[in-house]
Each structure stands twice: as C-alpha cells, then as structure tokens.
Chain A
C-alpha cells in the first residue's frame, strides 16, 4: 500500500470516527433534552393539579386565595420557561422529531389546564391579574412580539402570565380548539384575559397602555372582541 492510499484510508476512517462520535453524543443530548422537558412538564402538571386540588378542598374557604397566592408567579414563570426551552431544544435536535410533537401536545394540555386554573384564581382572588395567550409563527413579527412580552413581564408586571402556542404546530387538539375558539388566523396574535384579540405586532408601549387601562383600550391593530 503506498503512502497516498494509506493516508486516504486513515483520513477517511478518522473523519468517520469523529463524525460518528459527534453523532452518538448528539443523540444522547437529544435524549437528555426530551427527558428534561418531559420532567419539567410533569412537574408543572403536578403543581397545577395540586393547586386545583387545594382549590376544590377549600372551595368555600377564604383561605384559598392566601394559600395559592404565593404559587402563582412561580407557576407562570416556569410555564413560560418550559415553552422557551421546548422551542430551543426542538430546533437543535437531529432526531426525536416525533417525540417533540408529543411533548408539544403534552405542554399545550398542561398550559390549558394552568390557564383554566389561573382564570379561576383571577376571577375569585385577583381581578387585576393579566393572562395572555400568545400565538406565534416563524416570522420576524412573532420574534419581536415574543421579546416584547418577555420584557413586559420582566420590567412592568411580573404577575402577568403568558401562555405560548406555536401557531404552526401540528396534531394538537388543544391548539386547534383555541385557534377555532378565538378565530386565530396568523402569528403573532395575543388574546388578553380571554377577551381582547390583537392580531399582528403590538409594541411594548402600546401593550403597557392596553393592559394598564384595565383591558379597555383599543389598539391600532385589528381588535376583535371574542364572544
């Protein structure tokens, strides 16, 4: 075997080995990512179910608001974090496409359950608390809207809970129901407290105005009152 043939074989084998090692470790990372999100959704679900159980137990008691009050901000934050992580991780995976679809469905179920629980809490204990359903797509306005909502929660009102839904996600019954119920046709769209729909990008200043005025203002964007 001459030196060129020898070098070609060794270089090919070495390259193959390095790429395969990268792939195998990458697959392990994929597995770890989906497990991580799975765990996070499970914990969020347990937390929501705990609060709902407490809600049922203390149905007629005034202690309910006081008991649940401390849990609400953390649950909202954790929910938003899971959504962000899910979108980040699903874009990095080299496999597990189906697994991410399932995780997204589970997450949306968990989100709807949390949304229902928080709506109930809002009606009963804290009428000034804002709940925002945020439908996003893969476009620039959605990226901007995501930033605005994050900034709003971080800088203006951390009691606001944001529930994110990928408008283009497939095979989610929860998402389909929400899209139909609120007549959502594009991303970004935000639904404030289940009543006000804003299609298109809403800047931070405008969002502050809308939410600051007790959900009664009209934005420059399309605003539809949902039934």
Chain B
C-alpha cells in the first residue's frame, strides 16, 4: 500500500515537472510582451483596496503616483480600517490623480473593489493590494497586450518580495520563483487560472459586464479569473515585469494566508464545478482545473506519507533507547552485499529521477528570473518540509470548510 501511495506521489511529481519542462523547451518564454506606440495612452485606473495597512499604504500610494504613465488615476478605498490607514492616505488628498474613498465598516475586499469599479470609466483597471508596489513600463505593456489581443481579458506580472529578510520570507522567495515560472508557461499555454491580488490588469468593460468582483469570496481574484476564462478570455503574464509585495514574515501569517487561499479555491471549485472537464473550455477545463484538484490531494498524501515515516522512525528510536540498544549501529560495510540489497529500487529510482528533474527545473526557473540562489538552508527546508506544510494547510482548510468556520479576509 505504502509503495503504491509513494508511486502516486512520485509519479504525479514526475508528470508535472516533465509537462512543464517540455512546455518550456517548446515555447517562447523569453519573449517580452509586444508594445504598441499609442497616439494617446488608454485611460487606466488603479483600484487600491486597503484594510489595516498603515505600515505600507504611504509607500504604495507614492509608488503608484510615481509611475510614468500620463492617463492614470488611483482609486483608494479604505475598507473600514481600524488603524491609521485612511488618515495616512489623506496626506495625498490634494493629488489630482487620486480619489480617496472610505467605507464606514469593513465590507470585504470584493465590496471595496466594486466601490472603486463604480467610480471609474477608464478603459482598463488595475487591482493592486495596498502592500504592493509596481515598477517600470508595466501598465503600457498590459494595455498593449489587451489592445493587440482581443481574447486577452487580464494581464498579470511576476510577484517578488518588497523585502526578504528572514527565513520564512526566503522560503516564499523560492516558492514564488517557481510559481512565476509556472505561471508564465501557463500563460503561453493559455491555461493560466489566476489573477493575483498583488497586481492584475483587466479590461474594465469585461469586469463590469461580468458583474464586478464577487463580494462573498475569500479569493475574489481567483473567482474573477475563472469567470473570465468561462467568458472565453485568456490571462497573460508579463513575466519580465514584477510587482513587489510584502510576504508574510512568520509561519502563523503564512498559515492564515494559505488556508484562506485553499478555502477560497474549494468554494470556487464547488460553485463552478460545471467548468471541470468542460470540453467547451478546452484544455483549461479538461486539464488545468482537474490538475488543480489533484495537486492538493497529492500534497495531503505526501504529508501523511512523510509524517507516518517520521513518526515510525522516532517511535523506533524511542523503543531502541528504552531497551538500551545502540542508536548508531555499524553502517553495514562488513556485509556490503546485504546493505546494497536493502535498497528499495522501486521507490528510490523514480524518486531520484524526480529530485534530479526538480533540481534542473529550479535552476531553469532561477535563470529565467535573473535570480541567483544564495541561501541553501531555505532551499533544503523548502524541498524537505515546505511541501508537507502545504498538505497541512489544505487539511486545515478542509476542516475549516467542514466546520463552516468564519471567513476572514487577511
């Protein structure tokens, strides 16, 4: 039984890595998005919801105001913050480009975005978290992509950290380098299923036609992305542009964030279940969405396989200690043949192949991101433990959904 579960885990991992590596070697991932020479730049509004973001709001608004794009407005919505978020934002009240709105009470991110959406007639809207900062020619590239390609409904960027000082943030840097790499490939394959809250640019008419953002959703960014896909639109990625955002700096916040994402995914998957295996949605319905369901299952199996292995190992060690047995017996060199025959080739050969490909994929992802691997310890922890934590996050999310726990926007 354990051998078959290990095979399922390793086989799934091998399949996904090979799938994306094949796509990488056969698609023009290095190309930049095409640029249009506009006679008059299209109008763009940044929708900036904020809730208790007093530490980052000033930098975020200032960063948006500094963007070199003429036809830009910023609609800032304070969603009933209990801290000084709104009073800090009011420092910018005299700026002609900015429109400050305050909710009297916290209504959730979807409501805050819809409030901002109602205020704009711009051709394109950008959803940007208050803790995110944009850079470069991103807006022109997004507008160009959607001007040139009628089927593109949203443009996203790579996500990078504003700072990565501690161990938890360095772990997420590794994760996002891989995530950005995957998302870029998904973009080229037209199966990208996500418009992150940190930065996403939409055609305003599409979002308004689809009824705006879902107001009762933990992951309204995922929800609108799936509605766009259902509407026949594609989501493209400006891989070489990045949005800098604040990464959680402790495991407790990472837990809260990931459990929210997982719960959002589950409720969206249930509400939009007719999209799964839907041939009308092409590979998005037949491949991408089913894979998104299978991956958490694999993560949970992986969590239990590793956890059971650890528990058994620790248990055996405790038994050995209690009976006075030597903890570190000879390594078996006196009988090399017997030691070699103990090798579980059925599991370890596919596992070694999978780890080798993972290492190669990581190298490619770092190279494409123009990043270099500096810290080995977070990398080892990421591969040895973090994937287990993902399984744990999913189980926690399932439990919270089953208990119908309160939905909290963090």
B342: contacting residue among A14, A88, A94, CB under 8 A:
A88
A-B contact pairs, 15 of them (CB 8 A): A3-B189, A7-B22, A8-B287, A10-B18, A11-B15, A11-B16, A18-B14, A18-B354, A22-B345, A26-B344, A26-B349, A29-B346, A32-B341, A147-B320, A204-B323
The interface residues of chain B lying within 8 Å CB-to-CB of A22 are 345-350
By the criterion CB–CB under 8 Å, are A14 and B323 in contact? no
Contact of B338 (CB < 8 Å), options: A3, A25, A36, A151? A36
Q: Tell me whether B14 and A15 are in contact (CB under 8 A).
A: yes
Residues on B with beta carbons closer than 8 Å to the beta carbon of A26: 344-346, 349
Q: Mark A116-146, 1 if CB is under 8 A from B, else 0.
A: 0000000000000000000000001001100
Chain A residues engaging chain B, CB cutoff 8 angstroms:
2-4, 6-8, 10-12, 14-15, 18-19, 21-23, 25-26, 28-29, 32-33, 36, 85, 88-89, 92, 94, 140, 143-144, 147-148, 150-151, 203-204
CB of A108 to closest CB in B, whole Å: 20
Determine the distance from Cα of A59 to Cα of B3 in the docked complex, in whole angstroms: 54
Please, which residue of chain B has its CB at the minimum distance from the CB of A84?
Answer: B338
B405: chain A residues at CB < 8 Å are: none
Q: Which residue of A lies closest to B351 (CB)?
A: A22
B339-363 interface code vs A (CB 8 A; 1 in, 0 out):
0011111111110011000000000
* Other-chain contact of B341, A7, A14, A33, A140 (Cβ < 8 Å): A33
Structural contact, A10 and B22, CB atoms closer than 8 A: yes
> Please, which residues of chain A bring their CB within 8 A of the CB of B20?
7
**Other-chain contact of A3, B26, B325, B342 (Cβ < 8 Å):** B26
**Across-interface contacts of B22 in A (CB, < 8 A):** 6-7, 10-11
Q: How far is the CA of A110 from the CA of B325 in the complex (A)?
A: 28
Interface check B27, CB cutoff 8 A: yes
Kindly state the separation between the CA atoms of A21 and B338 in the bound complex, as whole angstroms: 22
In the complex, B59 has a CB within 8 A of chain A: no
Q: Any chain A CB within 8 A of the CB of B410?
A: no
Query: Using a CB-CB cutoff of 8 Å, which residues 1-54 of chain B contact chain A?
Result: 3, 7, 10-11, 14-16, 18-20, 22-23, 26-27
Given A15-B14, A22-B349, 17 further pairs, Cβ under 8 A:
A4-B189, A4-B191, A4-B287, A8-B287, A10-B22, A11-B18, A18-B354, A21-B349, A22-B346, A29-B343, A32-B341, A94-B3, A143-B316, A147-B325, A148-B323, A151-B323, A151-B325
